[in-house]
């Protein structure tokens, strides 16, 4: 069970990882109803009730891409999608605190943390896939986003919660210039529309995903508006018991987070933002009682004035603060990876471990190797140059076609088998239209069955009921692929060799009766096109909690105190701090 330290690929030769790798390979060889076997029946039935909605939306999402896609819009929506990511908010939130906007900053923490945690719980609870590719092409700058389930859209949840709260604050404002206020409101609306519609345009989500995600975001914003001030008063007026209660609640949420059917990073993101909430609440409670903090406009405000400090000092303290955050992350993660495994092995013996389905227990490995791309929220400093260069080479976006996650692969298999069953059903029925669809070519309308009044039904000649496409075949310059569910591959409007395209077998097949071995071969072929999922270790959960709790403390209390001590603060506090 020994593992090398230099690379997680070398580590995969250990006994524990061999076992895990075998399980991942076998995933494509299990019974077709993967989710029935892995989910409790109530979750499985709920999923089966909702998944026809996801599938019915696919051709209409493909129509949107077919009609309006341009290279300029590809770049715009791929770039603006970054304004709704966890990474963007984790960079901006500390700056809000350091610039003295404590009220708005703490509200943003509540909105975004609750949005990520709640949407992550729903995603892992229901395990609903993203809209199928093909026919959709996915346009994204983030490789990890496609690995998550689709429902609901966390981008939409975060964006709408921020927009609703921002508009509420702007409408309350009485001392802001009307023109500035109007411009900020227009900017808020534009931001929300760009993020939400961009998820549809980029093929990352369906209408159902973004609608429910937006409703969830609006509800979270409403809760912050109604109860946010009361919560802050309770937090600051009490003893350490108040942040301790919040910590225990968040730890309970982490412990009871639903187990997904597939290896999904939603849990990791929820853990990270739970750590952020814990760190922010403890830091605000303590920082407000020190002589370093202002009590106006709210307790725990970082002393700051642009007119007093000037722009150069503001930039310098921001750079210093960001450097310290990355230094904390880069130091603590390897340190905790070295310290925690022996502790976890001891805890396992007493049944006090934190079991997660897709995480190796400490008893299954000897040490945690050096991990790459192990954080979807804040990347390591060493990864940033490669990320920037990758974005520059792709001119801001990449396009992929085909399954990108296990959820995509299982959805492809499910649709393929459903189409085969419907194909058999159609072949057993007598022809109603006198052979109108016998040619199998031309547009989709010509290939559909017709009912008694001459109207087309939602069933095509290959049995694709539920995937009747509004797109006419053959009228676009596309890479037409036979057997795509209800529509052809869409044209790629950009002639860009840097676009990353991962092809995979079409979800449809011409042979309705493949034998068992052929089906197993098809499944293995689909899963072999997926990026290999690295091993994950139980200590990563606690490590992430500690690291992000520390990052939040640095943002709210640690760095503001440091700014004062090194001469980058307002200089109007008593530094005799106990």
Q: Is 33 exposed, middle or buried (0-12, 13-18, 19+ CB in 10 A)?
A: middle
- The pair of structure tokens assigned to 97 is 């605190």
- Is-contact 88 209, C-beta < 8 A? no
Question: Is there a catalytic annotation at residue 205?
Answer: yes
- The pair of structure tokens assigned to 125 is 């609870």
Query: From CA 388, how far away is CA 381, in angstroms rounded?
Result: 12
Q: Is 296 exposed, middle or buried (0-12, 13-18, 19+ CB in 10 A)?
A: exposed
Phi, then psi, of 207 in degrees rounded to 5: -60, -40
| Catalytic member of 11, 34, 86, 155 | 155
- Is-contact 482 393, C-beta < 8 A? no
Query: From CA 366, how far away is CA 125, in angstroms rounded?
Result: 32
- Is-contact 474 499, C-beta < 8 A? no
Kindly give the residue spans of alpha helices, DSSP state H, lying in 129-264: 154-172, 178-201, 207-237, 241-255
Angle between helices 102-126 and 266-287 (to 10 degrees): 150
Kindly give the residue spans of alpha helices, DSSP state H, lying in 101-153: 102-126
Residue 400's DSSP bridge partners are: 138
Backbone CA torsion sign across 201, 205, 211, 216: negative
Query: From CA 199, how far away is CA 145, in angstroms rounded?
Result: 11
Cβ within 8 Å of residue 34, ≥6 positions away: 27, 261, 410
Neighbours of 256 (CB within 10 A): 8
| Catalytic member of 34, 86, 110, 205 | 205
Question: Is there a catalytic annotation at residue 34?
Answer: no
Q: Is 4 exposed, middle or buried (0-12, 13-18, 19+ CB in 10 A)?
A: middle
- The pair of structure tokens assigned to 236 is 């600051």
Please compute, for residue 286, the number of CA atoms within 13 A of its CA located in the half-sphere on the CB side. 19
Q: Count of residues for the chain?
A: 578
Helix (H) or strand (E) holding 547: helix 539-553
Residue tagged 């999922």 (tokens) = 533
| Three-state DSSP class for residue 319 | helix
Among 114, 135, 112, which residue's Cα sits nearest to residue 55?
135
Distances (CA, A) of 44 to 260, 263, 355, 447: 11, 17, 22, 34
Neighbours of 167 (CB within 10 A): 16
Residue 537's DSSP bridge partners are: 360
Cβ within 8 Å of residue 15, ≥6 positions away: 1, 364
Instruction: Please identify every residue annotated as catalytic.
Output: 155, 205
């Amino acid at each position: 069970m020994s593992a090398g330290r230099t690379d997680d690929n070398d580590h995969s030769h250990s006994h524990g990882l061999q076992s895990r790798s075998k399980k991942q390979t076998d995933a494509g060889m299990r019974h077709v109803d993967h989710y029935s076997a892995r989910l409790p029946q109530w979750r499985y039935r709920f999923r089966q009730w909702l998944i026809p909605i996801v599938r019915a939306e696919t051709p209409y999402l493909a129509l949107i891409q077919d009609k309006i896609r341009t290279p300029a819009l590809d770049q715009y929506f791929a770039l603006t999608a970054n304004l709704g990511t966890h990474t963007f908010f984790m960079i901006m939130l500390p700056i809000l605190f350091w610039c003295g906007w404590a009220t708005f900053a703490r509200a943003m923490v509540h909105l975004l943390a609750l949005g990520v945690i709640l949407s992550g719980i729903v995603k892992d609870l229901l395990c609903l896939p993203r809209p199928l590719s093909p026919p959709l092409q996915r346009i994204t700058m983030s490789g990890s986003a496609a690995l998550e389930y689709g429902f609901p859209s966390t981008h939409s949840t975060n964006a709408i919660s921020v927009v609703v709260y921002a508009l509420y604050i702007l409408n309350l404002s009485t001392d802001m210039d009307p023109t500035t206020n109007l411009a900020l409101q227009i900017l808020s609306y534009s931001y929300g529309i760009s993020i939400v519609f961009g998820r549809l345009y980029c093929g990352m989500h369906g209408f159902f995903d973004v609608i429910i995600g937006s409703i969830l975001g609006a509800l979270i914003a409403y809760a912050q508006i109604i109860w946010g001030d009361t919560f802050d008063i309770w937090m600051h007026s009490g003893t350490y018991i108040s942040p301790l209660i919040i910590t225990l609640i968040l730890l309970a949420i982490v412990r009871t987070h639903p187990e997904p059917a597939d290896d999904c990073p939603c849990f990791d993101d929820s853990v990270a933002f739970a750590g952020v909430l814990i760190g922010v609440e403890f830091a605000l409670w303590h920082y407000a009682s020190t002589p370093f903090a202002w009590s106006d406009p709210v307790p725990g405000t970082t002393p700051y004035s642009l007119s007093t400090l000037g722009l150069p000092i503001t930039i310098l303290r921001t750079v210093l603060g960001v450097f310290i955050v990355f230094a904390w992350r880069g130091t603590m993660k390897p340190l905790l990876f070295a310290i925690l495994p022996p502790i976890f092995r001891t805890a396992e013996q007493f049944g006090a471990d934190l079991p997660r389905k897709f995480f190796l227990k400490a008893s299954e490995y000897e040490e945690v190797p050096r991990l790459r791309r192990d954080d979807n929220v804040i990347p390591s400093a060493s990864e940033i140059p490669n990320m920037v260069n990758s974005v520059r080479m792709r001119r801001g976006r990449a396009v992929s076609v085909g399954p990108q996650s296990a959820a995509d692969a299982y959805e492809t298999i499910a649709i393929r088998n459903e189409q085969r069953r419907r194909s058999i059903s159609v072949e057993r029925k007598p022809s109603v239209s006198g052979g109108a669809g016998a040619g199998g070519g031309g547009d989709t309308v010509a290939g559909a069955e017709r009912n008694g009044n001459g109207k087309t039904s939602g069933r095509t000649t290959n049995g694709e009921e539920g995937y009747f496409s509004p797109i006419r075949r053959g009228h676009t310059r596309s890479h037409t692929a036979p057997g795509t569910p209800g529509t052809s591959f869409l044209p790629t409007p950009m002639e860009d060799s840097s676009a990353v395209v991962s092809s995979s077998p079409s979800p449809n097949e011409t042979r309705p009766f493949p034998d068992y071995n052929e089906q197993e071969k098809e499944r293995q072929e689909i899963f072999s096109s997926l990026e290999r999922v690295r091993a994950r270790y139980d200590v990563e959960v606690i490590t992430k909690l500690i690291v992000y709790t520390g990052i939040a403390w640095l943002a709210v209390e640690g760095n503001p105190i440091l700014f004062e001590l090194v001469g980058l603060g307002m200089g109007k506090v008593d530094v005799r701090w106990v």
